[in-house]
């Protein structure tokens, strides 16, 4: 769906909502862990990475990631167009498609971006869930390109949770937010089938990363 498919009222709503989100995000007290090795990796000319984040944590994570170039996979649904416009306002590019709908085209596009040296971000439980259950798309891109997955997670003191499938999180004003870039994880597989079989392993890594992030947050670090 193209941007022209949105009516004027929706476009105005996106503009207003984005402005409100920026004002809200400006009040958050964000601490980021593990970002320095991530930025130094790029300076050393190492391969691009595939950032893996849960759909419901997209907002605080991407605000914490601002200033780092990244292309985010966004679905082709109407709500995907809305998300793409909000991402653009925060300085991110969007690749349209999903690893389920139009999957082959999206995977090829993202794999080429990674080969060209661009970090990408994927919500492996998107665009429709189940919540925090990993689909194999990110693993397939990692296997195809040889680039590692980086679990990217967040924890906030207080959030609003939308009544959506992903329980989308919006930190409240002046919330303390902790963001963690976990250790890059290579996908050691010789075929797409073998990579897809590692879904549960990498889902467990995402869960463990979130637990470490929560512990850092609770310790005030």
Give this prediction's pTM: 0.89
**Are the CB atoms for 214 and 155 separated by under 8 Å?**
yes
Instruction: Give CATH superfamily name and number for 3-218.
Output: Glycerol-3-phosphate (1)-acyltransferase (3.40.1130.10)
Using a CB cutoff of 8 Å and minimum separation of 24, what contacts does 217-221 make?
217/155, 217/156, 217/157, 217/176, 217/178, 221/31, 221/33, 221/178
Domain residue spans of the chain: 3-218
pLDDT tens track for 160-176: 999 999 999 999 999 99
At 78, the pLDDT band (50, 70, 90 cuts) reads: low
At 93, the pLDDT band (50, 70, 90 cuts) reads: confident
96 has pLDDT over 80: no
2 has pLDDT over 60: no
């Amino acid at each position: 769906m193209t941007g022209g498919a949105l009516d004027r009222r929706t476009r105005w709503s996106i503009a207003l909502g984005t402005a409100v989100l920026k004002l809200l995000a400006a009040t958050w007290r964000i601490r980021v862990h593990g970002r320095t090795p991530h930025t130094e990796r790029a300076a050393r000319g190492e391969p691009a990475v595939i950032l893996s984040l849960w759909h419901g944590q997209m907002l605080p994570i991407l605000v914490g990631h601002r200033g780092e170039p990244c292309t985010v996979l966004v679905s082709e649904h109407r709500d995907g167009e809305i998300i793409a416009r909000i991402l653009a306002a925060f300085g991110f590019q969007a690749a349209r498609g999903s690893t389920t709908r139009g999957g082959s085209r999206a995977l090829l596009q993202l794999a080429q971006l990674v080969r060209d040296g661009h970090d990408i971000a994927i919500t492996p439980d998107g665009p429709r869930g189940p919540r925090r259950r990993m689909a194999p798309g990110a693993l397939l891109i990692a296997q195809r390109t040889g680039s590692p997955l980086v679990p990217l997670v967040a924890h906030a003191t207080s959030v609003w949770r939308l009544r959506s499938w992903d329980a989308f999180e919006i930190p409240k004003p002046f919330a303390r937010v902790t963001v963690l870039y976990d250790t890059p994880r290579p996908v050691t597989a010789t075929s797409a089938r073998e990579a897809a079989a590692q879904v549960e392993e990498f889902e467990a890594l995402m869960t463990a990363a979130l637990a470490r992030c929560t512990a850092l947050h609770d310790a005030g670090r």
